[in-house]
Amino acid sequence: MAALPLQGLTAHGVVRFAAPRPGITVLVLAAAGGVGQILVQLLRRAGTRVLGVVSTEAKRDVVAAIGIEVIVGYQNIVEAVRSLTDGRGVDVVFDSVGRATQTASLASLARYGQLVYYGDASGLPAPIDVDVLYDRSLRVGAFGLDIDGDAEGAGAARRELVTALCRGELRISVTKTFPLAEAAAAHFEIEGRKSTGKIVLVP
């Protein structure tokens, strides 16, 4: 349960914000991370086809086990997306990386597609030039978790997530635990992009 709250609420909120329809195809960047793994599971429960991007081959199996199609590496995202969608692109891109993937995220969208930011691990995205949106009628939005501003919604989301977890409908991947005194080592693990799922500090 300790691994669920903030990342689970973020993933839940992002799905609620994007309101994906069953049958659409979506792309999740950083799919092997803590939020990413929960997000792809919630998106599959919503009836979408999920493509997930991971940074290394070592992370492929972790994400593939959740039942999604995996793209390894960030260098050729657009080409991989076009190949997997017969050239169409995806309906929604969920991007927590930010500036480094901004161009690829926009290019991966199909007509009437939506780019949803919910993080900026590589830095804030550059300001959007509206001219690039017109040709395909694209939308760009951003989700930020605000538990205090929407206490009722957060409470309902928390109950839904806990119920799904208890029923075995949602899996939380805790890959490592560190004693609280070794918090710096945990941060090093995350910053080095070595981790998948959740890292937990134990008091």
Indicate the Cα dihedral angle 187, 191, 197, 200, nearest 10°. Answer: 0
Please answer whether residues 70 and 54 qualify as being in contact, where contact means their C-beta atoms are separated by less than 8 angstroms: yes
111-148 pLDDT, tens digit per residue, is: 999 999 999 999 999 999 999 999 999 999 999 999 98
CA distance 37 to 74: 17
pTM: 0.87
CA distance 92 to 28: 9
CA distance 91 to 5: 28
All domains in the chain, ordered by first residue: 5-142 (3.40.50.720), 176-203 (no CATH)
Summarize the confidence of residues 82-87 as an average pLDDT.
98
Among the residue ranges 13-17, 133-137, 183-187, the one predicted with the least confidence is: 183-187
User: Which residue in 32, 19, 56 sits closest to 141, CA to CA?
Assistant: 19
Higher pLDDT, 186 or 14: 14
